[in-house]
Amino acid sequence: MFSLMSNCCSWLKRWQEPARSVKVTLVMVGLDNAGKTATVRGIQGENPEDVAPTVGFSKVDLKQGKFEVTIFDLGGGKRIRGIWKNYYSESYGVVFVVDSSDVQRIQETKDTMAEVLGHPRIAGKPVLVLANKQDREGALAEADIIEHLSLEKLVNENKCLCQIEPCSAVFGYGKKLDKSIKNGLNWLLNNIAKDYEAISERVQRDTAEQRAVEEQEKKERAERVRRAREERYAVSFREHHCPQSTASGAG
């Protein structure tokens, strides 16, 4: 009886609420060559094969049911990872792509994931882990990846809802997209929707704080440039107007 009443109330609530799209921003991260861009292209309905490495980042906008999704596909090279934090404040959730076949870099993957999930602007947000390249020989199984990454401990420490999906991004795209990727993305978006108001408030607050910090840094850089110019001008002025007199030789 309770279940029936609950369903009726839920139906009434949905009926009362106007249908509207939900805007969500996601960051897609992972080591270089993990298959991030191939995954995004498959979700877009484009062929994910023969993908060039992402330099910096690429931005993708797509429609997923009631969701208007923006995905920042962030390059995974060591030199590029430093920019990831610039996108955390506006993200509602994270897609972390793991190369399941690259066993030699699993510790690097673990360290990178710990750094991402432990960041104060990511901790507490839902995380989808795509264990990619399951088609490769020697690819780690789901249980092995969970163990190698200490995933359970990591998500508990940072209070992140987490789902792991073994997948192969290069097999299928669009309507034939790998089912695990599709299921994982649906899971991520639905969990964001469940706590959308709180996450949205957090995103707005974090984004405002980051913009304030960036504005302050911009002012400080401008001040340093101004001082440097004044110093150069002063040195130049002294050299032209107050030349050092040649030392007169003592008899």
Q: Is 114 left (phi over 0), alpha (psi -120 to 50) or beta?
A: alpha
Q: Please check if 34 is assigned to a binding site.
A: yes
Q: Please check if 247 is assigned to a binding site.
A: no
Backbone angles phi, psi at 124, to 5 degrees: 95, -15
Q: Please check if 54 is assigned to a binding site.
A: yes
Q: Please check if 132 is assigned to a binding site.
A: yes
Q: Please check if 190 is assigned to a binding site.
A: no
Helix (H) / strand (E) element for 148: namely helix 142-148
Q: Please check if 194 is assigned to a binding site.
A: no
Backbone angles phi, psi at 58, to 5 degrees: -130, 150
Q: Please check if 74 is assigned to a binding site.
A: no
Q: Please check if 76 is assigned to a binding site.
A: yes
Strand partners, 27: 72, 94
Q: Please check if 66 is assigned to a binding site.
A: no
Q: Please check if 134 is assigned to a binding site.
A: yes
Q: Please check if 135 is assigned to a binding site.
A: yes
Strand partners, 95: 28, 128
Q: Please check if 32 is assigned to a binding site.
A: yes
Gap between the Cα atoms of 247 and 16, Å rounded? 92
Gap between the Cα atoms of 164 and 118, Å rounded? 18
Annotated binding site for Mg(2+): 37, 54
The annotation places the binding site for GTP at 30-37, 76, 132-135
Residues belonging to the binding site are 30-37, 54, 76, 132-135
